[in-house]
Amino acid sequence: MFWKDRWVHGCLVQNLAPSVFTAMPTRIRNNRTVAEALEDDQWILDTQGGLSWIGIRELLRLGDCLENFVLTDEEDRHVWNLDASSHYSSRSAYKAYFNDSISFEPWKRLWKTWAPAKCKLFLWLAIRNKCWTANRLAKRGLDHPEKCPLCDQEEEMIQHLLTTCVVAREVWYKLLQPLSLASSAPRRRELSFADWWHKTMKKVKKEDRKGVNFLIILGDWIIWKHRNACVFDGAAPSVHTILSEVKDE
């Protein structure tokens, strides 16, 4: 239908020219086909009643928009614009639902791991820089440690705490050493835990990935717990304590 279907670049004609649509008799709105309306500009002749200057402007714009439309004898067909095949699929519709959404690269490694939910939730927040470390507390004028509670050398940020902190680096070295992955321990120049995690997992054999993935996620959680013990309970930073807690888990 000329007025009721989305045939003009996916838009309804009634939305393109609402004042003109209002001036159309109901019978014509509901029954006029595209072919009938375009033949000799019948859609213009269908207009009844006086149009306001806004309606006249809409009429002229709609005329310009429809000027290059040419109908053929080819049978109409539905085209799904969200897939290269032009055919609808639930897969393409599902993917379109997430268009322009924020991607989260390690989602599969994180949510499909054997690690407890509390560990996965923490790491999700950590990768998104949502943990309450000193840098975030300082921005809000809240009390915060002047330096990293574990190394007492640099400003505390979650990426530092989990990767470039000397305590964390030693923990990762000792956790990964029995797996012949000691060379994959974070370097001082690492900027992102997620990037280091991704690079490390690429070096792991397929059959070992779930286990190593679990170990890394658990290690992060224990490092964070130990950091909190140092801040709130006055505990002394200790690589041995962190490793012991990882083994206990």
Phi, psi of 8 (to 5 degrees): -100, 90
Tokens (6 digits) for 62: 């709609």
Interacting residues of 20 by C-beta distance below 8 A, sequence separation 6+: 47, 51, 55, 58, 59, 62
Same-domain check for residues 74 and 58: yes
Choose the final residue of a domain: 76, 101, 126: 101
How much is the average pLDDT of 226-230? Answer: 96
Tokens (6 digits) for 173: 């070295």
Helix, strand, coil shares of the chain, percent, nearest 5, are 55, 0, 40
User: Any long-range contacts for 104-107 (C-beta under 8 Å, 24+ apart)?
Assistant: 105/194, 105/198, 106/194, 106/197, 106/198
Same-domain check for residues 202 and 236: yes
Choose the final residue of a domain: 68, 101, 134: 101
Which pTM was predicted? 0.63
Total domains present in the chain: 2
Mean pLDDT over each residue of the chain, to the nearest integer: 88
Write out pLDDT tens, residues 191-207.
Answer: 899 999 999 999 999 99
> Within a 13 Å sphere around the CA of 11, how many CA atoms are in the beta-carbon half?
11
How much is the average pLDDT of 29-42? Answer: 83
Same-domain check for residues 53 and 119: no
pLDDT band at 138 (very low <50, low <70, confident <90, very high): very high
User: Any long-range contacts for 183-191 (C-beta under 8 Å, 24+ apart)?
Assistant: 188/164, 189/164, 190/159, 190/163, 190/164, 191/159
Question: Which residue type sits at 45?
Answer: L
Same-domain check for residues 56 and 136: no
Same-domain check for residues 97 and 113: no
Same-domain check for residues 1 and 64: yes
Same-domain check for residues 200 and 172: yes
Same-domain check for residues 46 and 1: yes
For residue 225, pLDDT over 70 is answered with: yes
pLDDT for 224 equals 97
Beta partners for 11? 8
Choose the final residue of a domain: 48, 80, 101: 101
Write out pLDDT tens, residues 83-107.
Answer: 888 888 998 888 888 777 666 778 8
Same-domain check for residues 67 and 157: no
Same-domain check for residues 158 and 203: yes
Interacting residues of 121 by C-beta distance below 8 A, sequence separation 6+: none
More confident of the two residues 104 and 111? 111
Same-domain check for residues 46 and 166: no
More confident of the two residues 33 and 105? 33
Same-domain check for residues 92 and 118: no
- The closest alpha carbon to 174, from 218, 219, 225, belongs to 219
pLDDT for 102 equals 67
Query: Which range, 77-81, 206-210, 225-229, is most confident?
Result: 225-229
How much is the average pLDDT of 145-164? Answer: 94
Q: Which residue range(s) make up the domain with 193?
A: 107-248
pLDDT for 95 equals 84
